[in-house]
Amino acid sequence: MLSNHGKIPLFSHNEQKLNEIEKFERVVKTYTNVKGALAVQSGTAAIHLALRLLEVRSGDNVFCSTLTSIASASPIIYQGAEPVFIDSDPDTWNMSPVALKKALDEAVRNHRLPKAIIVTHLYGYCGHLEKIKDLSQTYQVPVIEDAAHAFGTLCNGEYCGSRGDFGIFSFGVNKLLSTSNGGMLLSGDSRYIRDARHLASQARELHPFHHHQTTGYNYQMSPILAAIGNGELGKVVDKINKKRNVYHYYQKLIAKEELLNLIPVQEGIVPNYWMTVITIDDVSIYQLYQVYLHLMKQNIEVSFIVKPLHRQPVFEGYTYFSHSEHFSVSDQLFHTALCVPSGVNMTGEEQEEVIAQLKHALELVDNSSLFTN
């Protein structure tokens, strides 16, 4: 037994593992057409690294979509900075260029421009990214694309994640491309990626001993998960095609329903259709909750959309810029929208059942005196 021990090819083993990470980074870089990519442990870690590279620190502001996961904004807090939340616009549900401009103008007046703008492509659908990029250039504030939902989404012929100064993907459990846990940081500036790689590995210097000029993080992706990513990459196109079919069939099913609307697709955008979301006109949040409960009771797994971050108790007191003076688009969406099942293996009959039950739930809610105020 012992004599075998020396034969275990430890080093080639190691190289094999490293190659999985390099391969994963290379394939994602080629696919999205960006110069630099770093595989990391999570999408959150990727955002954190981007903020650290932009030298976001205490006393700084960072603008952030409000209709997004808390993971978009937590790294702002990790850096000791303050988030400023930006509303959605009604036609794309994504960051409103109108609200963003208001926020930037006020920042100019206060001599406090943000260090970055974090833009989420909600549920795989891209918003007015060109307008946001124009504003970013005018005001000289870098854009971080939170493309955690949007792997494979095209915006005017270019992939989401490749359009900003930085882009991030998440490969978390329920994301379109999943490695169980994981993420990636993208940048057209390979110096940023070189520095991020350094920070992600405890900022260890190239010395024969442990040597550090600064503190970093343990953010490197596990090679085992990169290997999973390499396997999963081959399924992305098929998944997106299936998701698109699911979306389109829902579209057909609700075409004649006056009260029901789908998450919109803008001209020039080819989404990955990660989630199908339906809004119901004229419902109150209480009625929406009744609809939700009815569907769950029928074993139809629906969920509320993300609750706007400016409504989260943890972010109470931070500034929020809404799209319109009269109402907040993100709040309105939260009160009227549900994510409906959109798994790649869904059958047409299952989708018909979802819509039938949704309509049935609306009738029940309509007839219930409990929720009419």
Nearer to ligand PLP, 337 or 365 (CB): 337
- Binding of residue 32 to ligand PLP (CB under 6 A): no
Beta strands in 165-259 (DSSP E): 166-170, 183-187
List, edge to edge, every strand of the sheet that includes 158-159. 158-159, 154-155, 269-270
**Which burial class, exposed, middle or buried, applies to 161 when counting CB atoms under 10 A from its CB (0-12, 13-18, 19+)?**
buried
Least separation in angstroms between CB 42 and ligand PLP: 3
Crossing angle of helices 348-367 and 236-254, rounded to 10°: 40
Mask of contacts with ligand PLP, 207-246, x by CB under 6 A? ----------------------------------------
CA angle centred on 172, ends 278 and 348, rounded to 5°: 40
| Residue facing ligand PLP at closest CB distance | 43
Mask of contacts with ligand PLP, 78-117, x by CB under 6 A? ----------------------------------------
Amino acid at 136: S
Nearer to ligand PLP, 70 or 259 (CB): 70
Least separation in angstroms between CB 127 and ligand PLP: 13
Least separation in angstroms between CB 105 and ligand PLP: 26
Single out the residue of 61, 69, 230, 336 in contact with ligand PLP (rule: CB under 6 A). 69
- Binding of residue 66 to ligand PLP (CB under 6 A): no
> How far apart are alpha carbons 227 and 20 in whole angstroms?
5
- Binding of residue 42 to ligand PLP (CB under 6 A): yes
- Binding of residue 36 to ligand PLP (CB under 6 A): no
> How far apart are alpha carbons 213 and 203 in whole angstroms?
7
Task: At 286, list the tokens.
Answer: 């209480």
**Total residues in contact with ligand PLP, by rule CB under 6 A:** 14
Nearer to ligand PLP, 117 or 358 (CB): 117
In the region spanning residues 172 to 211, those forming contacts with ligand PLP, defined by CB under 6 A, are 172, 183
- Binding of residue 71 to ligand PLP (CB under 6 A): yes
Beta strands in the chain (DSSP E): 36-40, 61-65, 82-86, 117-120, 143-146, 154-155, 158-159, 166-170, 183-187, 260-262, 269-270, 276-280, 303-304, 320-321, 337-340
Least separation in angstroms between CB 94 and ligand PLP: 11
Least separation in angstroms between CB 50 and ligand PLP: 12
Nearer to ligand PLP, 170 or 357 (CB): 170
Least separation in angstroms between CB 220 and ligand PLP: 14
Give the sign of the dihedral formed by CA 32, CA 37, CA 39, CA 44: negative
Instruction: Please provide the DSSP assignment of 245-298 as one string.
Output: HHHHHHHHHHTT-TTEEEPP--TTEE-----EEEEETT--HHHHHHHHHHHHHT
Nearer to ligand PLP, 172 or 341 (CB): 172
- Binding of residue 120 to ligand PLP (CB under 6 A): yes
Mask of contacts with ligand PLP, 132-171, x by CB under 6 A? --------------x-xx--------------------x-
Asked if residue 332 lies in contact with residue 88, where contact means CB atoms within 8 angstroms, the answer is: no
**Which burial class, exposed, middle or buried, applies to 340 when counting CB atoms under 10 A from its CB (0-12, 13-18, 19+)?**
buried
CA distances from 351 to 193, 232, 291, 342, 345 (A): 43, 26, 16, 8, 11
Mapping DSSP to helix (H, G, I), strand (E, B) and coil, where does residue 14 land?
helix
Nearer to ligand PLP, 39 or 53 (CB): 39
Question: Which segment (40-48, 84-92, 341-349, 356-364) binds ligand PLP by CB under 6 A?
Answer: 40-48
Q: What is the DSSP letter of 40?
A: E
Q: Which of 29, 101, 175, 243 is catalytic?
A: 175
**Is-catalytic flag, 131?**
no
Residues noted as catalytic: 175
Binding site for ligand PLP (CB under 6 A): 42-44, 68-69, 71-72, 120, 146, 148-149, 170, 172, 183
